[in-house]
Structure 1
């Protein structure tokens, strides 16, 4: 009998392969010295969930317990060699200093290092020498290690790169594709050799304390798509002669000192976001995307509508004149359009904006425009859902009916128009869950068409006349009813509002005696009250001055400007803005507009009212008639009480 061994041998080989494969997959990929390096780095820091500026942060290193570090959160290894190639500890609630002996920088095979959004406790990067040895790095991200002071735009940098410096850090990282050091305190010039890093696709160096002249040749890197140098006020430079075919998609230089000619920027046919606000460019608007807050003159060129991939177009705060091009209606992908604070004129058919379904931020405030708006019955549900809509100083004569379809508005400016009559009933249904600021000041409003018992806006800070249900807005900080035709008595029922800082009733038809405070409280946080140009009579009760303690106790050492901070998210985008409070004060018969109000300034303005002030006793002395309460050196509480 012949026995065939071939099936047996084949079966044995298959079994051997399966067993070998099993042990190969099961064995730890992580090299022991790399695992030890990570544990040493983990033990050199602490976890503090309150320190990260990212609301989605979580402590990744808490899960580091398995034997194989290649399966740890934030770690990626090469599947062939087992060496760690990627470390992403961004938003990991890490707190502490990066030590010069940190084992993290002994990982010579590392290709990507991300330590963004942590709190490195105002430390330097003493390991810059070690980082410079990581010659295989393709991505380096140490950005946004910040401490938020007052708002997302008011931060302190928590990481320094000074000794050794910026150039030393970069000199050996010639393979870099992504470089993100935004908000790292670098305080340096930008090394010219960076223009030789031909693999770079993105450079983020926002708010790094950079100074000197930025190398023009960096703009022409063959693969560069994203460049942000914003908020480096001492950084100068100019544009090169851009050529068609450049890969640049986003260019952000706002609040730098770049200047000069930029006519060739029109060649950047891949550009979909450009922000040069606050730079020093000047002259006629070139064949390019418009620029905000410069000294641009002339008309808005219609060819801008050919840039159909644009998502952001900012031309605000220039000296542009002429009409808004009708062709803008073709910018279907546009999300943000800022044309405010120019010298634009003519009639604008608002339907052109209603055709731009992605438009969420539109600012036309402070121009000499007039609008044609469609009646509500001709509008369907496809109108864009605005978040920001600025139509102040736009010659409006009524409430635009398309507003009745707006459910997502946060900031709505209708102030300083020519809107007459009552506020329509449907206004109370606008964006009740999202509205933060609603400006109706300086119109000709006479009342309400069935005002609600309770205000519908749960998040509002309101400017303009509102119904007596206002005390339900317990977070209200500013109430500006100035320059209308309101006929009412002094709203003493507002006294319990705990955070009200500014109350402006000037230039209306308020009348009658100002009664004593109600409810045992009278504007405890008030710093500014303007009752001027009204018809109040009688005595101003001294009890009010007993409650206005914020006007008496002032610390000038940490003075800031009064403002409202707001932020919101839309898909793939977070937007933050700061709205400073502004007021008008009449001094010696001359009106002055204060765009910013320091929080150490306190004002009581009763100019040209018939009321007199009762003699009163305060901790600062006995006063009658003109009152001036002296505060620290450069600031004073000023009262204008002349009848």
Structure 2
């Protein structure tokens, strides 16, 4: 079904069209909307180059699970108040705009596209990200040093890319990570960090499978992941945190979740 509204009111503040069968070009954005959800449809166009000017007051914007193509325009960085940006499960290509992680952004989900290049190095000192999901793309290189500026980060998923480098020790003691997924890349060396001191005490899910790691983590590293030792319901934890990223994990019989294959 083609969708071509021409009379969206300029006072519309919420537009939710998710989970329909709408297709064709991307509908125009209401100029003052704070929430726009086009997810789970059949739109198959490119994002307009000037989309940032249409999101000047937006807090939530989702285009996930469609057939959008082309690059992610740099103008999206003009959405200064955006807190949630979901562009997952599409066919976007090109690089991640270096300016995309602005100070207000809390959830960035670009999972399952065809993005290439590197994770941008420009995470600001005021970074407020809590969830970063860049999995299932074609990203290369290492985890950027500036990601340590995102001290509120709880979920980091960079699985199933072509990334390399070592275990991200530069992030230790910098954030309250609960979920760390690095599976399906080319990371190597030792799991964990030398001279480890209370690294990520809240960490509960670690997936490092299908890499080139050659040395197990130090014993004190595992002991410091104290949250894994708590009597938590792993299924509830996965639903709460991994539900944001759309991941699927095998059933676990106990409260620990390690994947070091």
TM-score range normalised by the length of the shorter chain: 0.7 to 0.9
Alignment gaps of 5+ in structure 2:
none
State the 1:604 CA deviation: 1.0
Q: How many residues align?
A: 255
**Which gives a bigger RCO, structure 1 or 2 (Cα 8 Å, sep 6+)?**
2
- 2:138 corresponding residue in structure 1: 444
Residue in structure 1 matching 2:107, options 411, 424, 431: 411
The normalised TM-score by structure 2 is 0.73
- 1:266 corresponding residue in structure 2: none
Q: Please give the alpha-carbon distance, in whole angstroms, between the structure 1 residues aligned to 2:219 and 2:55.
A: 56
- 1:500 corresponding residue in structure 2: 177
Secondary structure of 2:221's partner?
helix
Query: In the superposition, relative to structure 1, how do residues 481 and 345 fare at CA in structure 2: closer, same or farther (>3 Å)?
Result: same
- 1:366 corresponding residue in structure 2: 65
C-alpha offsets along residues 410-436 of structure 1, whole Å, 9 cap, x if unaligned?
A: 4333232212123456x446x945555
Structural mapping, 1:497-576, within 5 Å: 499-514=176-191, 517-554=194-231, 563=240
- 1:341 corresponding residue in structure 2: 40
Secondary structure of 1:366's partner?
coil
State the 1:312 CA deviation: 1.6
Q: Please give the alpha-carbon distance, in whole angstroms, between the structure 2 residues aligned to 1:311 and 1:479.
A: 31
- Radius of gyration: which is bigger? 1
Secondary structure of 2:166's partner?
coil
The normalised TM-score by structure 1 is 0.34
- 1:467 corresponding residue in structure 2: 144
Q: Please give the alpha-carbon distance, in whole angstroms, between the structure 2 residues aligned to 1:524 and 1:405.
A: 25
- 1:268 corresponding residue in structure 2: none
C-alpha offsets along residues 319-373 of structure 1, whole Å, 9 cap, x if unaligned?
A: 41421355x25x434443211122x142234147445365513210111111466
1:356 and 2:54 matched: yes
Task: Tell me if the contact between 2:202 and 2:227 (Cα under 8 Å) persists in the aligned partners.
Answer: yes
C-alpha offsets along residues 88-144 of structure 1, whole Å, 9 cap, x if unaligned?
A: xxxxxxxxxxxxxxxxxxxxxxxxxxxxxxxxxxxxxxxxxxxxxxxxxxxxxxxxx
C-alpha offsets along residues 433-452 of structure 1, whole Å, 9 cap, x if unaligned?
A: 555544333322223xxxxx
Residue in structure 2 matching 1:312, options 5, 8, 14: 14
- 1:132 corresponding residue in structure 2: none
Q: Please give the alpha-carbon distance, in whole angstroms, between the structure 2 residues aligned to 1:501 and 1:364.
A: 26
Query: In the superposition, relative to structure 1, how do residues 561 and 353 fare at CA in structure 2: closer, same or farther (>3 Å)?
Result: same
Query: In the superposition, relative to structure 1, how do residues 404 and 583 fare at CA in structure 2: closer, same or farther (>3 Å)?
Result: closer
Structural mapping, 1:156-167, within 5 Å: none
Q: Please give the alpha-carbon distance, in whole angstroms, between the structure 2 residues aligned to 1:527 and 1:335.
A: 33
Alignment gaps of 5+ in structure 1:
1-298, 448-464, 565-578, 588-596, 608-643
Greater percentage in strand? 1
